[in-house]
Amino acid sequence: MIELINGIAVSKDFDGKLFGRMNKKEDTVIQIGDKKIGDGEFAVIAGPCSVESKEQILDIAKFVADNGAEFLRGGAFKPRTSPYSFQGLEVEGLKYLHESKQKTGLPVVTELTSLKYIDEYMKYVDVIQVGARNMQNYDMLKELGKIDKPILLKRGIAATINEFLMSAEYILSGGNEKVILCERGIRTFSDYTRNTLDIGAIPLLKKITHLPVIVDPSHASGLWWLIEPLSLAAKAVGADGIIVEVHNQPENALSDGGQSIKFDVFKEMMNKLL
């Protein structure tokens, strides 16, 4: 049960928790190199679902950098439903992302799937993403609480707000205060979209917690043409930014081509967002 005390949303479950507004009233701002998330500006993280080659990621990185993106996303290790699907270029992909950063200045955001690669992530990555499948991987969260690196925590596919915030608490309680929450849609009975974007979760989270909150409209919808309206909606309800999938050839993408937007669509969307 959520109630307001002095205008701040609290719950017995949240009492004394590090993520809560009762613990810290001012917004947390995450500094990532010379860029920030949570400072009142709308941050855009953009790039392909998967790093497929050096040429591909460099081409996309340059385009999104030239058109307003502040961070580069791209999967090097890809957890896939089918074991026969493209699993990513792994450490080689991390190196390509790092090279793209060196050429464009965009900090790298990418998902960690196993702690055995943490040393490589500390070397090549600026923001470590915890995917929806690992939101309740508490051993991983505990270890990420011990490092000095921003963590982008995605909401689980069927996670409640309480479960989502408690996962953030695992990281915070370990000493790492650099946590970014990401609403990426939850599974409902709807079969028209990949997931259902819980748009109401954004203002709710902003009320409860001081942590930055961003939205992933790509995974929420699974449909490229829904990304722009959902991104605009995210900004309208107070999100601190978005993470979107952009590809130079979505029709030939090795993963999630149907939810990746083309260059011209990204450029048009950015003109409306910023």
Query: Any idea what the CATH number is for the domain that residue 157 is in?
Result: 3.20.20.70
Predicted pLDDT at 81: 86
Model pLDDT, residue 9:
55
What does pTM read for this prediction?
0.95
Backbone angle region of 10, left / alpha / beta, with phi > 0 → left and psi within -120 to 50 → alpha: beta
Q: Angle 27-29-32 (CA atoms, 0-180°, nearest 5)?
A: 170
**pLDDT for res 16:** 76
Residue 223 CA: distances (Å) to CA of 218, 226, 235, 253: 7, 6, 19, 14
Q: d(Cα 8, Cα 211) in Å, to the nearest integer?
A: 14
pLDDT at 22: 86
User: Residue 212's domain spans which residues?
Assistant: 3-273
* Cα–Cα distance measured from residue 181 to residue 177, given in angstroms and rounded to the nearest whole number: 12
Closest CA to 265 of 227, 238, 239: 227
- Below-70 pLDDT ranges, the chain: 1-13
- Count the Cβ atoms, other than its own, within 10 Å of residue 27: 15
The total of structural domains in the chain comes to 1
Beta strand 43-47 with 127-130 is unpaired
Bridge-based pairing state of the strands 213-215 and 241-245: parallel
Q: Rounded to an integer, what distance in angstroms lies between the CA atom of residue 81 and that of residue 87?
A: 10
